[in-house]
Amino acid sequence: MKYLHKTNKIFTILGIGVSLTFWGAMIALPVLGLAQIIMCIIIFYHRKNLTKKTLKLFYAYVIATIGLAGTFKTLEVVKALDTLSLMFIWMFVSAGLAFFHLYVTYLINKDYEL
């Protein structure tokens, strides 16, 4: 658990850095997302060791991620936005979620240092 933050920081920096090129985002953000899903599974397995604040933020992250993924899937199916606009919005939302997950792993790392 104590290495999650360092690993997440590396994946986030690389993912967001490569995302500065539009086409790089199509490769980097799914890899970052997969890494963060694996980290979420690890965090969920160790959830009993987390403080209440960290646990609430972790659940908020999970709910926000699932809700936003569903929203974007619905927008894609309904064709409410053109594909390019949807991709740009999804890139910025993904970056926000990545930084939120980075903050959660930071809190977990801080909790384990105590």
Residue-range definition of the domain harbouring residue 47: 4-113
Give residue 53's Cα distance to chain centre.
18
pLDDT of residue 1 exceeding 90: no
Rounded to two decimals, the pTM is 0.86
What are the pLDDT digits (tens) for 68-104? Answer: 988 888 877 777 677 777 778 888 898 899 999 999 9
Determine whether 5 is exposed, middle or buried from the number of CB atoms within 10 Å of its CB (0-12, 13-18, 19+).
buried
- Whole-number Å distance between alpha carbons of 82 and 89: 11
- Whole-number Å distance between alpha carbons of 98 and 61: 10
- Whole-number Å distance between alpha carbons of 16 and 8: 12
Task: Say how many domains are in the chain.
Answer: 1
